[in-house]
Chain A
């Protein structure tokens, strides 16, 4: 069990989520963030913070998003930890607007 970032994060990278993770278990590549399921303590703090609702608990994945559980596990192992907020990607606002509507 762990929390899982889905493709709704793709191209956003506000990284608001990262600042409230008590155990620094977010990882990052050029596209999006991933949660390391080995370290996540299921505090649930990140999910309501994400402006696009990209984060879900692995035991309650939305329909069609199940594959992201495994993708997070794999990509978290291959990518660096991100512990502090970074500047959003250009176009992040458009992405947030599109997903919120």
Chain B
């Protein structure tokens, strides 16, 4: 049998795993090295999906199975673009697939956005999920009101975590530092503000419905936003928009008199104009699109959740408008021409849309493109095993899948003591120490 084709996949979120699976199950002899900048795999399944949605995290059992396929290797703790370059990879692999997600928040571009107390959703989500890049951040939760800007599921996650009681979060895998800070929170109201109307909100009905079942928070609407009630979304807005409208009508009717101590208001037709405050934000100014009148909301915390884009990687053409690597169906394109041997997958190919499983269909498509091109790709002249060994030497240890499983076992053991599914290590140093000590 001929020597296997070697593929490097960059990023171990769902897209990276599903692309690896499609390649390794194709029947074509390939081996896959999955590069990940952190010592921990799973991308936004670990660091994005909310801690109070534990059932979704069970998808990691599928990733564990993929990691067990012959030909699979996890190369953790290595950042492509910093520790190793794309050309260095291309020399050692037939093909390189970028699955590095969409780690940059889109900015609102309004005055006051950089005041203390104004944050991007990515930072807040990383903080409560124990992402090493966000573990050192702190959020001022001392004011009565917080505002979340954006009408997607990420905005709902941010608001829900701010509004749940410590008891609702205690037995999740929320980072300990976040649980402690949230337990001291004085926030009594969160407003979720968006520019569009009900039909344009990108909430999924399941996530929206959870706001009707919070232990100590009543959810409602502001009658000023929709003076004529909630319109029935047009047929072409889809079944989800109609389901959302029905849920929101329920919130509007149930409003008030619930005896709950916290409140959530879902607001429509309001566009942020500026944030104001001396040194730190104390109000957010909003406008109804098409009108000059502004409205000021007193608040001490603003979290913007208006979209994400892919971090460009040196040497990879970038599509500024879509915020992804320039590609057609997963093949990287420079000026409309495919670049041989370079591919993209997941959020860095399609943008930040869809559910975890959307990345499976996406990974299958990219893997199919790689497999179709494989015969025409030149054999690598470099040695991938030597490269991986030299990278391990550079960071002082090997973070393979067995090393990750040791980190995971230690997290699970720590969590058991406090009744949590796991207590995440929130620094690279702790993870590396555990991986090395138990080796």
Contacts and interface: CB of A to CB of B under 8 A. Distances in A.
Interface in A4-29: 19-24
A23 B63 CA distance: 9
A66 interface: no
Interface string A40-57: 011111101000010001
A84 interface: yes
Contact of B239 (A19, A46, A53): A53
A62 B410 CA distance: 45
B59 interface: yes
A48 B364 CA distance: 20
Given A22-B355, A23-B62, A43 B361 contact: no
A57 B59 contact: no
Where chain A touches its partner, the secondary structure class is loop
Contacts of A20: 354-355, 357-358, 360-361
Contacts of B239: 48, 53
Interface string B75-103: 00000000000000000000000000000
B358 A44 contact: no
Contacts of B14: 22
Contacts of B359: 22
A44 B210 CA distance: 14
Nearest to A45: B355
Where chain B touches its partner, the secondary structure class is helix
B175 to A, nearest CB: 22
A29 B426 CA distance: 46
Contact of A44 (B204, B361, B364): B204
B322 to A, nearest CB: 21
Contacts of B357: 20-23, 43, 45-46
B55 interface: yes
Nearest to B240: A48
B337 to A, nearest CB: 29
Interface string B349-368: 00000111111110010000
Interface string B145-182: 00000000000000000000000000000000000000
B58 A44 contact: no
Nearest to B360: A22
Contacts of A48: 238-240
B405 interface: no
Contacts of B355: 20, 22, 43-45
Contacts of A53: 239
Nearest to B62: A23
30 contacts: A19-B360, A20-B354, A20-B355, A20-B357, A20-B360, A21-B357, A22-B59, A22-B355, A22-B356, A22-B359, A22-B360, A23-B59, A23-B61, A23-B62, A24-B62, A41-B56, A41-B59, A42-B55, A42-B56, A43-B56, A43-B59, A43-B355, A44-B206, A45-B354, A45-B355, A45-B358, A46-B357, A48-B239, A57-B206, A84-B364
